[in-house]
Structure 1
Amino acid sequence: MRIHHHITIPCGFLLLVACFFIRYQIGRRRFNRRGVGGLQQFSSYRKAVVTTFLETLILFIGNLCGFAGLYLLALQELITLTFNHYEN
């Protein structure tokens, strides 16, 4: 039985890269909004609420991408170890 697993590893790494990129971009945006006192500064309350909500949502999606990437890589390693054990 031949398993086609050539796409699983690149997809896992791509999801991990997407996770790190999203986390970096949101962290950078939050850092650049900080004032002298260390708090994020917005021009209006509406912008603060909308921006915080959207960034939290995108960060959650990024974290899901990271977990999915780790899951794919772990699953691929498990499949490889299992089938190599049965072939030997």
Structure 2
Amino acid sequence: PADLNHDLQSHPDQAPGDFGECLRRVVTAASDHGKMAGILVREPEAIAEMAALGFKHIAVELDVSILRKGYQEILARRTEEA
């Protein structure tokens, strides 16, 4: 999704639609060919939005986003204790 969004912003005159429209087109194209669309999201909070668009396989970039969020929670607790 990040590459697609970047490309749409870099070449708006060639874009077939906005980011959301392009994602819907991916889901439709996959469905039209008997496939389930998949996507990689950076944050767990994006899962519901992608599922609502029709993506069936949703992977979360766990190694960075989940670890970062956990670390931020640890730091927040330490700050509260101090």
TM over 0.5: no
Structure number with larger C-alpha Rg: 1
* TM-score, normalised relative to structure 2: 0.31
* TM-score, normalised relative to structure 1: 0.30
Name the one with the larger helix percent.
Answer: 1
Q: RCO (CA 8 Å, sep 6+): is it higher in 1 or 2?
A: 1
